[in-house]
Amino acid sequence: MKTETTAFNPKLYIGIDVHKKSWTFHYQTDLFDGKTITQPASPSKLVEWVQKHYPTHEVTCAYEAGFSGYSAARLFQKQNWNVLVLNAADIPMPQKQSIVKTDKIDCRNICKQLKNEALKSITIPEEQRESFRSLFRERNNFVMGLRHIKLNIKSYLMYCGITIPEEFDNASWSKNFIEWIKNQSNEYETGALKISYLLKRYEFMYQESLSVSNQIRLYARKHYKKDYYLLMSIPGIGGITASAILAELGDLRKYNRFDDLASSVGFVPGFIQVEIKQ
The string of pLDDT tens digits covering residues 150-168 is 999 999 999 988 999 999 9
CA-CA-CA-CA dihedral for 148, 154, 158, 162, to nearest 10: 160
pLDDT of residue 171: 85
pLDDT of residue 99: 72
Distances (CA, A) of 16 to 12, 39, 43, 147, 180: 13, 11, 10, 39, 58
> pTM for the full model?
0.77
pLDDT of residue 97: 66
CB atoms < 10 A from the CB of 132, how many? 22
pLDDT of residue 277: 57
pLDDT of residue 9: 85
pLDDT of 1 over the 50 cut: no
Looking at per-residue pLDDT, the higher value among 95 and 151 belongs to 151
268-277 per-position pLDDT tens digit: 555 555 555 5
Specify the range with the lowest mean pLDDT, choosing from 73-77, 209-213, 274-278: 274-278
Q: What confidence category does residue 3 fall into, taking pLDDT thresholds of 50, 70 and 90?
A: very low
pLDDT of residue 270: 55
